[in-house]
Amino acid sequence: MAYHDIVTADQRLVILRMLEESNGSANDSVLQKVLGTYGHRISRDQVKTHLYWLNEQSLITIESVMGTDVATITGRGIDVALGHARVPGVGIPRAGG
Domains: count for the chain: 1
Angle at 57 between CA 30 and CA 20, to 5 degrees: 40
In-domain check, residue 9: yes
Instruction: With respect to residue 97, please indicate whether it lies within any of the assigned structural domains.
Output: no
- Residue 10 is assigned to a structural domain of this protein: yes
pLDDT band of residue 85 (cuts 50, 70, 90) is: very high
Task: Indicate the pLDDT class of residue 14, thresholds 50, 70 and 90.
Answer: very high
DSSP 90: S
Beta bridge partner(s), residue 63:
70
Q: 68 lies in a domain?
A: yes
CATH code for the domain of 31: 1.10.10.10
Q: If DSSP codes are grouped into helix, strand and coil, which group holds residue 41?
A: coil
Q: What pTM was computed for the model?
A: 0.94
pLDDT tens by residue, 24-83: 999 999 999 999 999 999 999 999 999 999 999 999 999 999 989 999 999 999 999 999
